[in-house]
Amino acid sequence: MIRKAVLPVAGLGTRMLPATKAIPKEMLCLINKPVVQYIVEEAVAAGIRDIIFVVSRGKESLLDHFDLDPELEAELEAKGKEDLLAEVRRTSTLVENLSAVRQKKPLGLGHAILMAAPLVGNEPFGVLLGDDVVDGEEPALGQLIRVAEELRASVIAVERMPREEIHRYGVISGAEVREGLYRIEEVVEKPRPEEAPSDLAILGRYVFFPEIFAYLEKTPPGAGGEIQLTDAVSAMVRDGHPVYALEIKGTRYDTGNPEGFIKATLALALKDPQLGPKVRQFLRAWL
């Protein structure tokens, strides 16, 4: 059973400045919930009970968001605001076990995950990256967990990307073992379009078995002087460990940049039973 998930949320959010000057990018609001809540809800829906945030300075509000707020609850109760009270309580009880570890220096995604090793211990775990919101019927992490439990191996989420966008992602290649599932043969971080081994780009969901930590420990700084998760996975694959890539069913939005953020906002608003018709009408008037 996979019960723990690591959420690396130490990044600066430079692509969203100045919005992210004084608030964490993960706390930016999509409709009426911060981005991080969508990600935590996905993890919980996939059976995760322990959330481990890898934070940096100034990210305390992320923890507060999922913690109890007795004063606010008492006030909402006294005012008879039952709906809001229920929503606030749901948020603060969503995560059974909440913990955080500090990444003191921005040394990369691989380094961030390594910081969580003592809290993860010797068991498989999920990783969810804070920019990627995935909208779909089955939680993206849940899709990975099913395959990881079946194959007893690490599994990484991928999606097909147009060539001109591939340079922004980790890219895998491998043999298709069944529809949409590949045994990874090669993985490269942010390749030039002509060097990309395929059009299968990594999206921010992973399930790892604990051997990843040994590889992260010996991974030297790579692209941008950072310890890259992709390099550790690549070394694991070279040593013959089976690592799989699964094409995820669902739509992924990169909320870490304005364009992706707007797309996510619009898509979620259009799907919302209350907001949908009004937003659609508003947009029609503009188009």
For the chain, the distance separating the N- and C-terminal CA atoms, rounded to the nearest angstrom, is: 49
| Segment interacting with ligand G1P, rule: CB under 6 A, options 15-23, 32-40, 48-56, 197-205 | 197-205
Exposure class string for 104-113: b at 16+ Cβ within 10 A, else e: eeebbbbbbb
Q: Are 269 and 275 in contact (CB under 8 A)?
A: yes
| Residue showing the smallest CB distance to ligand G1P in the complex | 170
Half-sphere exposure (Cβ direction) of 61: Cα atoms closer than 13 Å: 13
Q: Which CB sits closer to ligand G1P, 85 or 130?
A: 130
Place of tokens 């969580």: 116
- Closest distance to ligand G1P from the beta carbon of 87 (Å): 29
Of 170 and 250, nearer to ligand G1P (C-beta) is: 170
132 binds ligand G1P (CB under 6 A): yes
Q: How far is the CB of 205 from ligand G1P (least distance, A)?
A: 9
10 touches ligand G1P by CB under 6 A: no
Q: Which of 38, 189, 231, 268 binds ligand G1P (CB under 6 A)?
A: 189
Q: Is the dihedral of CA 146, 152, 158, 159 positive or negative?
A: negative
148 binds ligand G1P (CB under 6 A): no
* Binding of ligand G1P by 268 (CB under 6 A): no
Residue at token pair 């194959």 = 151
Structure tokens given for 39: 């990600």
Element (H, E) at 129: none
Closest to ligand G1P by CB, 13 or 142: 13
**Residues near 238 by Cβ (< 8 Å), separated by ≥ 6?**
none
Query: Does residue 129 touch ligand G1P according to CB under 6 A?
Result: yes
243: contact with ligand G1P by CB under 6 A: no
Burial 29-49 (b: 16+ CB within 10 A, else e): ebeeebbbbbbbbbbbebebe
Residue in 203, 207, 243, 264 binding ligand G1P, rule: CB under 6 A: 203
Tell me if 169 contacts ligand G1P by CB under 6 A. yes
135 CB-contact burial (10 Å; exposed 0-12 / middle 13-18 / buried 19+):
middle
Q: Which of 35, 36, 40, 109 binds ligand G1P (CB under 6 A)?
A: 109
Nearer residue to ligand G1P within complex by CB, 146 or 190: 190
Residue with tokens 């996979």: 2
Which chain residues interact with ligand G1P by CB under 6 A?
109, 129, 131-132, 169-170, 189, 201-204, 229-230
